[in-house]
Structure 1
Amino acid sequence: MFPILPAVPRRAGLLLLSACLLLLPVLGWAHGISAEDRQRMLDGGYLQYVGLGATHMLTGYDHLLFLFGVVFFLSTFRDVAKFVTVFTVGHCITLVFATFFGITWNYFLIDAVIAISVMYKGFDNLGGFLRVFDMPRSPKLLAMVFGFGLLHGFGLSTRLQQLPLGDDPLAMLGRILSFNVGVELGQIVALAVMVAVLAWWRRSPSFAPIARAANLLLVFLGFLLLLMQLHGYLHDSRPGDFRFPVEEHRHIHEDMEVDKTVDPGRNQL
Protein backbone atom coordinates (compact mmCIF):
# COMPACT_ATOMS: atom_id res chain seq x y z
CA MET A 1 0.00 0.00 0.00
CA PHE A 2 2.81 2.36 0.87
CA PRO A 3 5.72 3.16 -1.49
CA ILE A 4 9.27 2.08 -0.88
CA LEU A 5 10.99 5.34 -0.18
CA PRO A 6 14.25 6.42 -1.78
CA ALA A 7 17.46 7.09 0.07
CA VAL A 8 17.61 10.15 2.28
CA PRO A 9 19.45 13.16 0.83
CA ARG A 10 22.20 14.44 3.12
CA ARG A 11 20.57 17.85 3.63
CA ALA A 12 17.19 16.26 4.48
CA GLY A 13 18.88 13.90 6.92
CA LEU A 14 20.62 16.75 8.70
CA LEU A 15 17.36 18.70 8.86
CA LEU A 16 15.47 15.78 10.41
CA LEU A 17 18.32 15.05 12.82
CA SER A 18 18.20 18.66 14.02
CA ALA A 19 14.44 18.38 14.50
CA CYS A 20 14.99 15.19 16.47
CA LEU A 21 17.44 16.87 18.82
CA LEU A 22 14.98 19.68 19.40
CA LEU A 23 12.28 17.14 20.25
CA LEU A 24 14.31 15.32 22.88
CA PRO A 25 13.24 17.56 25.79
CA VAL A 26 9.63 17.35 24.62
CA LEU A 27 9.67 13.56 24.71
CA GLY A 28 10.86 13.74 28.28
CA TRP A 29 7.42 14.97 29.36
CA ALA A 30 5.68 11.86 30.66
CA HIS A 31 1.95 12.30 30.08
CA GLY A 32 0.89 11.26 33.56
CA ILE A 33 -1.71 12.61 35.99
CA SER A 34 -0.49 15.44 38.19
CA ALA A 35 -1.57 16.09 41.77
CA GLU A 36 -3.34 19.25 40.57
CA ASP A 37 -5.37 17.23 38.06
CA ARG A 38 -6.35 14.76 40.77
CA GLN A 39 -7.69 17.52 43.02
CA ARG A 40 -9.43 19.18 40.09
CA MET A 41 -11.21 15.92 39.34
CA LEU A 42 -12.39 15.67 42.92
CA ASP A 43 -13.76 19.21 42.84
CA GLY A 44 -15.20 19.21 39.32
CA GLY A 45 -17.76 17.29 37.27
CA TYR A 46 -17.87 15.37 34.01
CA LEU A 47 -16.62 18.35 32.00
CA GLN A 48 -13.38 18.18 33.95
CA TYR A 49 -12.88 14.64 32.66
CA VAL A 50 -13.65 15.75 29.11
CA GLY A 51 -11.04 18.50 29.36
CA LEU A 52 -8.44 16.20 30.89
CA GLY A 53 -9.05 13.57 28.21
CA ALA A 54 -8.52 16.11 25.43
CA THR A 55 -5.39 17.49 27.10
CA HIS A 56 -4.05 13.99 27.68
CA MET A 57 -4.40 13.08 24.00
CA LEU A 58 -2.90 16.36 22.77
CA THR A 59 0.15 15.86 25.01
CA GLY A 60 0.35 12.09 24.48
CA TYR A 61 3.35 12.10 22.15
CA ASP A 62 3.41 8.33 21.67
CA HIS A 63 -0.25 8.32 20.53
CA LEU A 64 0.31 11.29 18.22
CA LEU A 65 3.47 9.83 16.69
CA PHE A 66 1.64 6.59 15.92
CA LEU A 67 -1.28 8.44 14.35
CA PHE A 68 1.14 10.53 12.31
CA GLY A 69 2.66 7.34 10.95
CA VAL A 70 -0.76 5.88 10.16
CA VAL A 71 -1.96 8.87 8.11
CA PHE A 72 1.42 9.73 6.58
CA PHE A 73 0.66 8.20 3.16
CA LEU A 74 -3.15 8.32 3.30
CA SER A 75 -4.27 10.79 0.65
CA THR A 76 -8.06 10.31 0.59
CA PHE A 77 -10.66 11.14 3.19
CA ARG A 78 -12.07 7.61 2.92
CA ASP A 79 -8.75 6.00 3.83
CA VAL A 80 -8.14 8.42 6.70
CA ALA A 81 -11.65 7.82 8.07
CA LYS A 82 -11.29 4.04 7.75
CA PHE A 83 -8.00 3.73 9.59
CA VAL A 84 -8.78 6.32 12.23
CA THR A 85 -12.15 4.68 12.92
CA VAL A 86 -10.51 1.29 13.42
CA PHE A 87 -7.91 2.81 15.75
CA THR A 88 -10.60 4.72 17.67
CA VAL A 89 -12.81 1.64 18.15
CA GLY A 90 -9.80 -0.27 19.43
CA HIS A 91 -8.71 2.25 22.02
CA CYS A 92 -12.30 2.95 23.12
CA ILE A 93 -12.83 -0.74 23.93
CA THR A 94 -9.87 -1.10 26.26
CA LEU A 95 -10.14 2.41 27.69
CA VAL A 96 -13.73 1.89 28.82
CA PHE A 97 -13.74 -1.78 29.81
CA ALA A 98 -10.28 -1.98 31.39
CA THR A 99 -10.98 1.13 33.48
CA PHE A 100 -14.48 0.09 34.54
CA PHE A 101 -13.38 -3.40 35.61
CA GLY A 102 -10.08 -2.22 37.12
CA ILE A 103 -7.83 -4.19 34.75
CA THR A 104 -4.36 -2.70 34.81
CA TRP A 105 -0.66 -3.41 34.38
CA ASN A 106 2.61 -1.59 34.88
CA TYR A 107 2.16 1.56 32.80
CA PHE A 108 5.88 1.79 32.00
CA LEU A 109 5.69 -1.57 30.25
CA ILE A 110 2.48 -0.65 28.44
CA ASP A 111 4.02 2.58 27.22
CA ALA A 112 7.11 0.64 26.15
CA VAL A 113 4.97 -1.55 23.88
CA ILE A 114 3.19 1.58 22.60
CA ALA A 115 6.63 2.95 21.72
CA ILE A 116 7.22 -0.25 19.73
CA SER A 117 4.00 0.49 17.82
CA VAL A 118 5.49 3.84 16.78
CA MET A 119 8.64 2.08 15.58
CA TYR A 120 6.52 -0.50 13.75
CA LYS A 121 4.59 2.13 11.82
CA GLY A 122 7.71 4.00 10.77
CA PHE A 123 9.32 0.71 9.72
CA ASP A 124 6.22 -0.21 7.73
CA ASN A 125 6.14 3.20 6.01
CA LEU A 126 9.77 2.68 4.96
CA GLY A 127 8.83 -0.57 3.19
CA GLY A 128 10.79 -2.48 5.81
CA PHE A 129 8.84 -5.73 5.49
CA LEU A 130 9.77 -5.95 1.82
CA ARG A 131 13.34 -4.72 2.22
CA VAL A 132 14.30 -6.65 5.36
CA PHE A 133 12.02 -9.70 5.39
CA ASP A 134 11.43 -9.98 1.62
CA MET A 135 7.67 -10.12 2.19
CA PRO A 136 5.44 -9.30 -0.82
CA ARG A 137 3.38 -6.93 1.33
CA SER A 138 3.06 -5.63 4.87
CA PRO A 139 0.90 -7.51 7.38
CA LYS A 140 -2.78 -6.54 7.20
CA LEU A 141 -2.58 -2.93 8.23
CA LEU A 142 -6.19 -2.50 9.34
CA ALA A 143 -5.85 -5.42 11.73
CA MET A 144 -2.55 -4.10 13.05
CA VAL A 145 -3.98 -0.61 13.60
CA PHE A 146 -6.93 -2.12 15.46
CA GLY A 147 -4.60 -4.22 17.63
CA PHE A 148 -2.41 -1.24 18.41
CA GLY A 149 -5.59 0.75 19.13
CA LEU A 150 -6.47 -1.78 21.83
CA LEU A 151 -2.99 -1.36 23.26
CA HIS A 152 -3.11 2.45 23.19
CA GLY A 153 -6.50 2.36 24.94
CA PHE A 154 -5.02 0.15 27.66
CA GLY A 155 -2.29 2.73 28.14
CA LEU A 156 -4.89 5.49 28.47
CA SER A 157 -6.79 3.32 30.95
CA THR A 158 -3.80 2.92 33.26
CA ARG A 159 -3.53 6.71 33.45
CA LEU A 160 -7.26 7.20 33.98
CA GLN A 161 -7.25 4.67 36.83
CA GLN A 162 -4.92 7.00 38.72
CA LEU A 163 -7.85 9.41 39.06
CA PRO A 164 -10.58 9.34 41.71
CA LEU A 165 -13.47 7.75 39.79
CA GLY A 166 -15.78 7.20 42.76
CA ASP A 167 -17.58 4.11 44.08
CA ASP A 168 -20.93 4.55 42.32
CA PRO A 169 -20.78 2.36 39.15
CA LEU A 170 -23.00 4.68 37.09
CA ALA A 171 -21.10 7.80 38.10
CA MET A 172 -17.81 6.03 37.45
CA LEU A 173 -18.99 4.98 33.99
CA GLY A 174 -20.02 8.58 33.30
CA ARG A 175 -16.54 9.82 34.22
CA ILE A 176 -14.88 7.15 32.06
CA LEU A 177 -17.07 8.02 29.07
CA SER A 178 -16.46 11.74 29.62
CA PHE A 179 -12.71 11.17 29.61
CA ASN A 180 -13.10 9.08 26.46
CA VAL A 181 -15.08 11.86 24.76
CA GLY A 182 -12.28 14.27 25.60
CA VAL A 183 -9.71 11.86 24.14
CA GLU A 184 -11.69 11.67 20.88
CA LEU A 185 -12.03 15.47 20.70
CA GLY A 186 -8.29 15.86 21.22
CA GLN A 187 -7.64 13.22 18.58
CA ILE A 188 -9.87 15.02 16.06
CA VAL A 189 -7.99 18.29 16.60
CA ALA A 190 -4.59 16.59 16.28
CA LEU A 191 -5.63 14.65 13.17
CA ALA A 192 -7.09 17.73 11.49
CA VAL A 193 -3.73 19.47 11.85
CA MET A 194 -1.75 16.41 10.72
CA VAL A 195 -3.89 15.71 7.67
CA ALA A 196 -3.91 19.38 6.61
CA VAL A 197 -0.12 19.68 6.95
CA LEU A 198 0.52 16.40 5.12
CA ALA A 199 -1.93 17.32 2.32
CA TRP A 200 -0.09 20.61 1.82
CA TRP A 201 3.34 18.96 2.11
CA ARG A 202 2.57 16.30 -0.53
CA ARG A 203 2.18 19.07 -3.12
CA SER A 204 5.63 20.36 -2.29
CA PRO A 205 8.77 19.11 -4.10
CA SER A 206 10.36 18.49 -0.69
CA PHE A 207 7.93 15.69 0.24
CA ALA A 208 9.56 12.85 -1.73
CA PRO A 209 13.15 13.43 -0.55
CA ILE A 210 12.22 14.11 3.08
CA ALA A 211 9.51 11.44 3.48
CA ARG A 212 12.05 8.69 4.13
CA ALA A 213 13.93 10.83 6.64
CA ALA A 214 10.66 11.65 8.42
CA ASN A 215 9.85 7.96 8.87
CA LEU A 216 13.40 7.17 9.96
CA LEU A 217 12.90 9.89 12.56
CA LEU A 218 9.63 8.21 13.57
CA VAL A 219 11.47 4.93 14.16
CA PHE A 220 14.19 6.70 16.13
CA LEU A 221 11.72 8.59 18.32
CA GLY A 222 9.84 5.36 19.00
CA PHE A 223 13.12 3.72 20.01
CA LEU A 224 13.94 6.68 22.24
CA LEU A 225 10.54 6.43 23.92
CA LEU A 226 11.10 2.68 24.37
CA LEU A 227 14.40 3.29 26.17
CA MET A 228 12.81 5.95 28.37
CA GLN A 229 9.95 3.67 29.40
CA LEU A 230 12.23 0.70 30.08
CA HIS A 231 14.45 2.96 32.19
CA GLY A 232 11.35 4.13 34.06
CA TYR A 233 10.26 0.53 34.66
CA LEU A 234 13.67 -0.52 35.96
CA HIS A 235 13.87 2.60 38.12
CA ASP A 236 10.40 1.82 39.46
CA SER A 237 11.00 -1.87 40.16
CA ARG A 238 14.64 -1.65 41.31
CA PRO A 239 15.06 1.90 42.60
CA GLY A 240 18.28 1.07 44.43
CA ASP A 241 20.05 0.45 41.13
CA PHE A 242 19.48 4.05 40.06
CA ARG A 243 20.24 5.95 43.25
CA PHE A 244 23.49 6.81 44.94
CA PRO A 245 23.30 4.91 48.28
CA VAL A 246 23.47 7.30 51.24
CA GLU A 247 25.88 5.09 53.19
CA GLU A 248 28.24 4.78 50.24
CA HIS A 249 28.04 8.54 49.72
CA ARG A 250 29.06 9.10 53.36
CA HIS A 251 32.01 6.69 53.07
CA ILE A 252 33.26 8.44 49.95
CA HIS A 253 33.18 11.75 51.79
CA GLU A 254 35.18 10.18 54.62
CA ASP A 255 37.73 8.63 52.25
CA MET A 256 38.19 11.94 50.47
CA GLU A 257 38.39 13.78 53.81
CA VAL A 258 35.93 16.30 52.41
CA ASP A 259 35.45 17.91 55.82
CA LYS A 260 39.16 18.84 55.91
CA THR A 261 38.93 20.78 52.68
CA VAL A 262 37.32 23.72 54.50
CA ASP A 263 39.75 26.28 55.88
CA PRO A 264 38.09 28.08 58.83
CA GLY A 265 40.86 30.68 58.82
CA ARG A 266 39.40 32.21 55.68
CA ASN A 267 36.48 33.43 57.77
CA GLN A 268 38.74 36.02 59.32
CA LEU A 269 39.59 39.24 57.46
Structure 2
Amino acid sequence: MILTFPSLLGRRGAAPLFLLLASLTPLLAQAHGISAEDRQRMLDSGYLQYIGLGATHMLTGYDHLLFLFGVVFFLTTFKDVAKFVTVFTLGHCITLIFATFYGITWNYFLIDAVIALSVMYKAFDNNGGFQKHLGMASPNLLGMVFGFGLLHGFGLSTRLQQLPLGDDGTAMLLRILSFNLGVEFGQIAALTVMVAVLAAWRRRPSFARFSFAANQLLMHVGALLLLMQLHGYLHDSDPDSFRFPEQEHRHIHEDMDVEKTVDPNRNSL
Protein backbone atom coordinates (compact mmCIF):
# COMPACT_ATOMS: atom_id res chain seq x y z
CA MET A 1 0.00 0.00 0.00
CA ILE A 2 1.62 3.25 -1.09
CA LEU A 3 0.44 5.46 1.72
CA THR A 4 1.24 3.14 4.62
CA PHE A 5 4.09 4.30 6.83
CA PRO A 6 4.54 1.12 8.86
CA SER A 7 5.41 -0.82 5.69
CA LEU A 8 8.14 1.71 4.94
CA LEU A 9 9.63 2.59 8.33
CA GLY A 10 7.96 0.36 10.88
CA ARG A 11 5.76 1.64 13.66
CA ARG A 12 8.70 2.74 15.79
CA GLY A 13 10.25 4.61 12.88
CA ALA A 14 7.00 6.29 11.89
CA ALA A 15 6.20 7.80 15.28
CA PRO A 16 9.29 10.08 15.47
CA LEU A 17 8.70 11.13 11.87
CA PHE A 18 5.13 12.17 12.63
CA LEU A 19 6.38 14.11 15.66
CA LEU A 20 8.91 15.87 13.44
CA LEU A 21 6.26 16.77 10.89
CA ALA A 22 3.95 18.00 13.65
CA SER A 23 6.72 20.24 14.96
CA LEU A 24 7.10 21.71 11.49
CA THR A 25 3.38 22.43 11.14
CA PRO A 26 3.60 26.09 12.31
CA LEU A 27 6.37 26.74 9.80
CA LEU A 28 4.47 25.06 7.00
CA ALA A 29 1.31 26.94 7.83
CA GLN A 30 3.16 30.26 7.68
CA ALA A 31 5.17 29.45 4.58
CA HIS A 32 2.95 31.63 2.40
CA GLY A 33 2.03 34.19 5.03
CA ILE A 34 2.56 37.91 4.49
CA SER A 35 2.60 39.82 7.73
CA ALA A 36 1.11 43.23 8.43
CA GLU A 37 4.66 44.61 8.76
CA ASP A 38 5.47 43.41 5.23
CA ARG A 39 2.33 45.06 3.91
CA GLN A 40 3.32 48.41 5.40
CA ARG A 41 6.87 48.09 4.07
CA MET A 42 5.43 47.57 0.61
CA LEU A 43 3.65 50.91 0.89
CA ASP A 44 6.76 52.71 2.08
CA SER A 45 9.48 51.03 0.01
CA GLY A 46 10.47 50.71 -3.62
CA TYR A 47 10.73 47.80 -6.03
CA LEU A 48 13.71 46.26 -4.23
CA GLN A 49 11.38 45.44 -1.35
CA TYR A 50 9.20 43.42 -3.73
CA ILE A 51 12.25 41.58 -5.03
CA GLY A 52 13.32 40.71 -1.49
CA LEU A 53 9.86 39.54 -0.50
CA GLY A 54 9.58 37.43 -3.67
CA ALA A 55 12.88 35.69 -2.90
CA THR A 56 11.92 35.14 0.74
CA HIS A 57 8.51 33.87 -0.28
CA MET A 58 10.00 31.22 -2.56
CA LEU A 59 12.66 30.16 -0.05
CA THR A 60 9.98 29.62 2.61
CA GLY A 61 7.42 28.17 0.20
CA TYR A 62 7.83 24.54 1.22
CA ASP A 63 5.25 23.21 -1.22
CA HIS A 64 6.99 24.86 -4.20
CA LEU A 65 10.41 23.62 -3.05
CA LEU A 66 9.18 20.08 -2.41
CA PHE A 67 7.71 19.92 -5.91
CA LEU A 68 10.97 21.17 -7.44
CA PHE A 69 12.88 18.64 -5.37
CA GLY A 70 10.72 15.90 -6.84
CA VAL A 71 11.23 17.23 -10.36
CA VAL A 72 15.04 17.28 -10.20
CA PHE A 73 15.37 14.13 -8.05
CA PHE A 74 16.37 11.83 -10.91
CA LEU A 75 17.75 14.41 -13.36
CA THR A 76 21.47 13.85 -13.86
CA THR A 77 22.53 16.41 -16.47
CA PHE A 78 22.58 20.19 -16.43
CA LYS A 79 20.67 20.18 -19.73
CA ASP A 80 17.77 18.22 -18.26
CA VAL A 81 17.66 20.34 -15.10
CA ALA A 82 17.68 23.55 -17.16
CA LYS A 83 14.95 22.22 -19.47
CA PHE A 84 12.49 21.23 -16.76
CA VAL A 85 13.17 24.22 -14.53
CA THR A 86 12.72 26.57 -17.50
CA VAL A 87 9.34 25.01 -18.33
CA PHE A 88 8.24 25.25 -14.69
CA THR A 89 9.44 28.86 -14.49
CA LEU A 90 7.63 29.82 -17.67
CA GLY A 91 4.41 28.35 -16.29
CA HIS A 92 4.49 30.09 -12.94
CA CYS A 93 5.57 33.41 -14.49
CA ILE A 94 2.54 33.41 -16.79
CA THR A 95 -0.06 32.99 -14.05
CA LEU A 96 1.81 35.03 -11.45
CA ILE A 97 1.98 38.08 -13.72
CA PHE A 98 -1.35 37.90 -15.53
CA ALA A 99 -3.54 36.66 -12.67
CA THR A 100 -2.16 39.36 -10.37
CA PHE A 101 -2.41 42.16 -12.91
CA TYR A 102 -6.01 41.31 -13.83
CA GLY A 103 -7.08 40.45 -10.30
CA ILE A 104 -7.93 36.80 -11.01
CA THR A 105 -7.96 34.90 -7.74
CA TRP A 106 -9.45 32.01 -5.79
CA ASN A 107 -9.37 30.73 -2.23
CA TYR A 108 -5.66 30.34 -1.55
CA PHE A 109 -6.18 27.38 0.81
CA LEU A 110 -7.76 25.40 -2.02
CA ILE A 111 -5.02 26.43 -4.47
CA ASP A 112 -2.35 25.38 -2.00
CA ALA A 113 -4.20 22.11 -1.46
CA VAL A 114 -3.92 21.36 -5.18
CA ILE A 115 -0.24 22.39 -5.06
CA ALA A 116 0.20 19.81 -2.29
CA LEU A 117 -1.35 17.27 -4.66
CA SER A 118 1.30 18.21 -7.22
CA VAL A 119 3.98 17.23 -4.67
CA MET A 120 2.27 13.88 -4.14
CA TYR A 121 1.90 13.41 -7.89
CA LYS A 122 5.62 13.91 -8.55
CA ALA A 123 6.63 11.53 -5.76
CA PHE A 124 4.16 8.94 -7.08
CA ASP A 125 5.60 9.34 -10.58
CA ASN A 126 9.20 9.15 -9.32
CA ASN A 127 8.47 5.76 -7.73
CA GLY A 128 6.95 4.38 -10.93
CA GLY A 129 3.43 4.53 -9.58
CA PHE A 130 1.77 4.82 -12.98
CA GLN A 131 3.50 1.67 -14.23
CA LYS A 132 3.17 -0.37 -11.01
CA HIS A 133 -0.32 0.54 -9.90
CA LEU A 134 -2.14 1.89 -12.97
CA GLY A 135 -0.51 -0.19 -15.70
CA MET A 136 0.21 2.81 -17.90
CA ALA A 137 3.07 5.02 -18.95
CA SER A 138 3.66 8.26 -17.06
CA PRO A 139 2.04 11.33 -18.63
CA ASN A 140 4.39 13.61 -20.56
CA LEU A 141 6.62 15.04 -17.84
CA LEU A 142 7.41 18.33 -19.54
CA GLY A 143 3.72 19.01 -20.08
CA MET A 144 2.87 18.12 -16.50
CA VAL A 145 5.66 20.31 -15.11
CA PHE A 146 4.42 23.21 -17.22
CA GLY A 147 0.84 22.67 -16.05
CA PHE A 148 1.88 22.51 -12.43
CA GLY A 149 3.99 25.61 -13.02
CA LEU A 150 0.82 27.45 -14.01
CA LEU A 151 -0.82 26.22 -10.82
CA HIS A 152 2.10 27.21 -8.59
CA GLY A 153 2.16 30.67 -10.18
CA PHE A 154 -1.52 31.06 -9.42
CA GLY A 155 -0.80 30.21 -5.80
CA LEU A 156 1.94 32.85 -5.68
CA SER A 157 -0.44 35.34 -7.27
CA THR A 158 -3.10 34.90 -4.58
CA ARG A 159 -0.52 35.90 -1.97
CA LEU A 160 0.88 38.79 -3.96
CA GLN A 161 -2.64 40.16 -4.39
CA GLN A 162 -2.83 40.57 -0.62
CA LEU A 163 -0.28 43.36 -0.94
CA PRO A 164 -1.09 46.96 -1.85
CA LEU A 165 0.06 47.15 -5.46
CA GLY A 166 -1.23 50.66 -6.22
CA ASP A 167 -3.71 51.99 -8.74
CA ASP A 168 -1.27 53.06 -11.44
CA GLY A 169 -1.07 50.29 -14.05
CA THR A 170 2.58 50.78 -14.92
CA ALA A 171 3.74 50.92 -11.29
CA MET A 172 1.58 47.92 -10.47
CA LEU A 173 3.11 45.88 -13.31
CA LEU A 174 6.62 46.85 -12.21
CA ARG A 175 5.87 45.71 -8.65
CA ILE A 176 4.54 42.39 -9.96
CA LEU A 177 7.62 41.92 -12.14
CA SER A 178 9.89 42.81 -9.23
CA PHE A 179 8.19 40.22 -7.02
CA ASN A 180 8.47 37.67 -9.82
CA LEU A 181 12.17 38.46 -10.23
CA GLY A 182 12.67 37.84 -6.53
CA VAL A 183 10.86 34.52 -6.84
CA GLU A 184 13.31 33.53 -9.58
CA PHE A 185 16.30 34.50 -7.44
CA GLY A 186 14.94 32.42 -4.58
CA GLN A 187 14.25 29.50 -6.89
CA ILE A 188 17.79 29.57 -8.31
CA ALA A 189 19.27 29.63 -4.80
CA ALA A 190 17.11 26.71 -3.65
CA LEU A 191 17.77 24.66 -6.79
CA THR A 192 21.52 25.18 -6.51
CA VAL A 193 21.46 23.55 -3.08
CA MET A 194 19.05 20.78 -4.15
CA VAL A 195 21.02 19.81 -7.26
CA ALA A 196 24.34 19.87 -5.39
CA VAL A 197 22.99 17.67 -2.57
CA LEU A 198 21.39 15.20 -4.98
CA ALA A 199 24.53 15.05 -7.16
CA ALA A 200 26.65 14.22 -4.12
CA TRP A 201 24.13 11.67 -2.85
CA ARG A 202 23.93 9.84 -6.19
CA ARG A 203 27.60 8.87 -5.84
CA ARG A 204 26.81 6.91 -2.68
CA PRO A 205 25.29 3.41 -2.54
CA SER A 206 22.59 4.71 -0.21
CA PHE A 207 20.94 6.61 -3.07
CA ALA A 208 19.83 3.40 -4.78
CA ARG A 209 18.69 1.94 -1.46
CA PHE A 210 16.77 4.95 -0.16
CA SER A 211 15.55 6.83 -3.24
CA PHE A 212 12.24 4.95 -3.12
CA ALA A 213 11.84 5.68 0.60
CA ALA A 214 12.76 9.34 0.04
CA ASN A 215 9.97 9.73 -2.50
CA GLN A 216 7.55 7.88 -0.25
CA LEU A 217 8.40 10.40 2.44
CA LEU A 218 7.91 13.20 -0.09
CA MET A 219 4.44 11.84 -0.83
CA HIS A 220 3.53 11.71 2.85
CA VAL A 221 4.72 15.26 3.45
CA GLY A 222 2.59 16.32 0.48
CA ALA A 223 -0.37 14.54 2.08
CA LEU A 224 0.29 16.38 5.34
CA LEU A 225 0.33 19.70 3.48
CA LEU A 226 -2.92 18.75 1.75
CA LEU A 227 -4.65 18.05 5.07
CA MET A 228 -3.33 21.28 6.55
CA GLN A 229 -4.63 23.35 3.64
CA LEU A 230 -8.03 21.66 3.69
CA HIS A 231 -8.21 22.28 7.44
CA GLY A 232 -7.35 25.93 6.81
CA TYR A 233 -10.06 26.13 4.17
CA LEU A 234 -12.66 24.78 6.60
CA HIS A 235 -11.63 27.40 9.14
CA ASP A 236 -11.73 30.11 6.48
CA SER A 237 -15.08 29.14 4.96
CA ASP A 238 -16.95 28.37 8.19
CA PRO A 239 -15.04 29.76 11.19
CA ASP A 240 -18.04 29.58 13.53
CA SER A 241 -18.18 25.79 13.30
CA PHE A 242 -14.77 25.59 14.98
CA ARG A 243 -15.68 27.82 17.91
CA PHE A 244 -17.06 26.75 21.27
CA PRO A 245 -20.86 27.29 21.04
CA GLU A 246 -21.01 29.46 24.15
CA GLN A 247 -24.59 30.60 23.73
CA GLU A 248 -25.82 27.10 23.03
CA HIS A 249 -23.94 25.83 26.08
CA ARG A 250 -25.52 28.56 28.22
CA HIS A 251 -29.01 27.67 26.99
CA ILE A 252 -28.47 24.03 27.92
CA HIS A 253 -27.47 25.05 31.42
CA GLU A 254 -30.53 27.29 31.69
CA ASP A 255 -32.77 24.45 30.54
CA MET A 256 -31.25 22.24 33.20
CA ASP A 257 -31.81 25.01 35.78
CA VAL A 258 -28.19 24.57 36.83
CA GLU A 259 -28.27 27.66 39.08
CA LYS A 260 -30.80 25.92 41.37
CA THR A 261 -29.13 22.54 41.69
CA VAL A 262 -27.69 23.32 45.13
CA ASP A 263 -29.85 22.03 47.98
CA PRO A 264 -29.49 24.44 50.97
CA ASN A 265 -31.08 21.88 53.29
CA ARG A 266 -27.82 19.94 53.21
CA ASN A 267 -25.96 22.73 54.98
CA SER A 268 -27.25 21.49 58.35
CA LEU A 269 -26.92 17.97 59.63
| TM-score of Structure 1 vs Structure 2, range by shorter chain | 0.7 to 0.9
Structure 1: how far apart are the matches of 2:218 and 2:209?
15
Partner of 2:232: 232
Partner of 2:36: 35
- Aligned partner letter, 1:199: A
Structure 1: gaps (5+ residues): 1-7, 262-269
What is the root-mean-square deviation of aligned Cα atoms in Å? 2.4
Structure 2: gaps (5+ residues): 1-5, 263-269
Distance 1:212 1:235, change over 3 A: same
Number of residue pairs the alignment of both structures matches:
253
Distance 1:76 1:24, change over 3 A: farther
Alignment TM-score, normalising by the size of structure 2: 0.87
Q: Higher relative CO (CA 8 A, sep ≥ 6), structure 1 or 2?
A: 1
User: Do 2:84 and 2:142's aligned partners in 1 also have CA atoms closer than 8 Å?
Assistant: yes
Partner of 1:98: 99
Partner of 1:129: 130
Structure 1: how far apart are the matches of 2:105 and 2:199?
38
Structure 2: how far apart are the matches of 1:13 and 1:195?
32
- Aligned partner letter, 1:74: L
Distance 1:76 1:33, change over 3 A: same
Structure 2: how far apart are the matches of 1:88 and 1:68?
14
User: Do 2:66 and 2:119's aligned partners in 1 also have CA atoms closer than 8 Å?
Assistant: yes
Partner of 1:212: 212
User: Do 2:120 and 2:219's aligned partners in 1 also have CA atoms closer than 8 Å?
Assistant: yes
- Aligned partner letter, 2:121: Y
Structure 2: how far apart are the matches of 1:9 and 1:154?
36
Structure 1: how far apart are the matches of 2:191 and 2:11?
25
Partner of 2:201: 201
- Is 1:77 the counterpart of 2:72 in the alignment? no
Partner of 1:162: 162
Structure 2: how far apart are the matches of 1:128 and 1:192?
28
Q: Percent identity?
A: 73
1:11-22 aligned at under 5 Å gives the runs 18-19=16-17, 21-22=19-20
Shift of 1:27: 3.9
Partner of 1:265: none
Partner of 2:266: none
Q: Which runs of 4+ in 1 moved over 2 A?
A: 8-21, 23-30, 248-258
Shift of 1:213: 0.9
Partner of 1:49: 50
Secondary structure (helix, strand or coil) at the match of 1:124 reads helix
- Aligned partner letter, 1:117: S
User: Do 1:16 and 1:217's aligned partners in 2 also have CA atoms closer than 8 Å?
Assistant: no
- How far does the alpha carbon of each residue in 1:20-74 deviate from its partner, in whole angstroms, 9 at most, with x for none? 5423332433322111110111111100000000000000010001000000000
User: Do 2:8 and 2:213's aligned partners in 1 also have CA atoms closer than 8 Å?
Assistant: no
Structure 1: how far apart are the matches of 2:147 and 2:84?
12
Shift of 1:242: 1.2
Partner of 2:265: none
Partner of 1:63: 64
Structure 2: how far apart are the matches of 1:11 and 1:228?
23
Shift of 1:243: 1.2
Partner of 1:242: 242
Shift of 1:234: 1.3
Alignment TM-score, normalising by the size of structure 1: 0.87
Partner of 1:180: 180
Distance 1:126 1:21, change over 3 A: farther
- How far does the alpha carbon of each residue in 1:147-194 deviate from its partner, in whole angstroms, 9 at most, with x for none? 000000000000000000000000000100000000000000000000
Structure 1: how far apart are the matches of 2:125 and 2:18?
20
